[in-house]
Structure 1
Amino acid sequence: MAKTRKKVVLLIVEGESDETLLIDRLRELFRDHEIRFEPQRGDILYDARKQRKPIKEVIGDTVKEIRLKRKFKQTDILAVIHIIDTDGCLIPEDNVVIDKEQEVLTYYQNTNISVQSGTQMNNILTRNNIRGRNIRTMNSVDTIVSNKYAYQMFYFSRNLEHVIFNEANPSSETKVDNIEEFLEELDSPLEEYLSQYMPDIEAGSYRDQYIASWTFISEGIKSLQRSTNVPLMFNFIELKSSEL
């Protein structure tokens, strides 16, 4: 008898640190599935080469490219999971401020994004507008590619390192090494550790909590502050698995 092929959980992430943090725990919990990370090494939500296309189409095209590259059949894919950093992109425009004395071009703080110049302010405002619009589009859809694939978007705010280490402006050179060291010292399940940074929302169905987590992070300056709804990702995979 032919061996049944494992269903694929496809995770679209910005960089390697997301994969380093999550892959072992996901493989441990979901042994019946193939856990496949696809780092984009860039911001799919704000890619100048793709801004003329609707974001849902951009992400759908990305999934199609991955499926062809990995030789997956459409029916192989259980779900597409998209993990993003908020980078403060949902804050009001007034919370992007100029500080000509700062040494770096852009500096993220708990209440604002500080920039060196008016030019950089315009760059950040444009980025926030485009990313924010695309995030609001994608966190409100459940499927992509003509309803072929279940889809959900999850976030680290303001980024993964902010949640794990409380580092507001992390150095890219040490990200993966720091995550590996963190995992070696972690003495509780990863999802349990992350749960302490979940938004303060009422218990309810997975769907209700997912919507509430996005409502929370979209308010005021919360997308600059330390929070994540990634623990719900584990519930989502369990939910889709139960539907098989």
Structure 2
Amino acid sequence: MAKKTTKKAVIFIVEGKSDKKALEHIFQVIYKHKNVTFEFTRGDVTSDETLTLNEVVQTIYEKVESYRKEKKLNKNDIWQIVQIFDTDGTYIPESAIVTGETKEFYYTTEEISCKDREKVVRRNEWKSSMMNKLLKLSDIKGISYKCYFMSSNLDHALYNKQNLTDEEKELYSIKFYEMFEGHEKLFIKYLESDVVNGCPDSFPASWKYIKEELHSLERHSNLHIYFKENPYL
């Protein structure tokens, strides 16, 4: 009897549990010929100022290792790591960061406000630096690595909603999943018609675009490029 071939796994890393819920099933159905699994980071590792680049890379790798060991896979069974960042207005000019009335960062498509304005400035400097470094990576410990973005975050990109509570994120993720259930490939058209919003189709050009002006606060994504670079048929 021929030995059963293990499907290659693609590990998607997103920032929260509701992000995973919104997207995981859609990708699994579209890429039925692959073993697509979403692993999610507990918070935004690119904003954690206590971590060095090597520690961030190690954190990402540990997510993959956890999945690999759970599924009893070999390292070469992991085909690709794909990370989806929330841009969080990271690349906006400092003039678009203002003193506000809330302790939490409050986002619009034109500015970020917070009682502690300097906290936003420091976060943006750190996160943009960390994202830029990760963008230069082609692999993590020998496994292919590539990163895409949702702007200003996944909620904004997919639902056109900003500043959602955790409970609202959960509710919208369920509604989003249900909206495409049985019609998962329409998600790609939805990205192109409602979410890309002028973002270039070239991967390098899309990242250049999101770093300019207020684009990292506006509603954009370059995730559509993943489907162009990885045909599902």
Q: TM-score normalised by the shorter chain: which range applies?
A: 0.7 to 0.9
Residue 62 of structure 1, CA deviation: 4.3
Q: Are 1:142 and 2:138 an aligned pair?
A: yes
Give the one of 121, 124, 127 matched to 1:128. Answer: 124
| Secondary structure at the counterpart of residue 26 of structure 2 | helix
* Cα distance in 2, alignment partners of residues 31 and 179 from structure 1: 21
Q: How does 1:141-220 map to 2 (within 5 A)?
A: 141-145=137-141, 148-186=142-180, 189-196=186-193, 197-200=195-198, 209-220=202-213
Distance 1:234 1:56, change over 3 A: same
Superposed CA deviations along residues 158-211 of structure 1, whole A, max 9, x for unmatched, are 0111122221211211212222223333477111101122252555xxxxx111
Specify every segment of 5 or more residues in structure 1 that has no aligned partner in the other structure, as ranges: 204-208
> Would the alpha carbon gap of residues 163 and 76 (structure 1) be closer, same or farther in structure 2, given more than 3 Å must change?
same
Distance in 1 (alpha carbons) for counterparts of 2:18 and 2:227: 18
Aligned residue type for 1:75 = N
Distance 1:138 1:5 in 2: 29
Describe the SS at the equivalent of 2:73.
coil
Q: Is this contact kept in 2: 1:10–1:80, CA < 8 A?
A: yes
* SS across alignment from 2:145: strand
Q: 1:56 to 1:15 in 2, by over 3 A?
A: same
Equivalent residue, structure 2, for 1:79:
80
Structure 2 residue matching 1:36: 3-state secondary structure: strand
CA distance in structure 2 between the partners assigned to 1:161 and 1:67 by the alignment: 29
Match for residue 115 of structure 1? 114
Shift in Å, 1:94? 2.1
Distance in 1, Cα, partners of 2:161 & 2:192:
18
Q: What 5-or-longer segments of structure 2 have no aligned partner?
A: none
Instruction: For 1:111, give the aligned amino acid.
Output: E
* Residue in 1 that maps onto 2:217: 224
Distance 1:89 1:2, change over 3 A: same
Within 2, Cα distance between the matches of 1:71 and 1:13? 22
Count of residues in correspondence between the two structures:
228
Give structure 1 regions of 4+ aligned residues with deviation exceeding 6 angstroms.
none
Distance 1:201 1:36, change over 3 A: closer
* Matched residue SS, 1:224: coil
- Give the superposed CA RMSD: 2.4
Secondary structure of the residue that 1:220 maps to in structure 2? coil
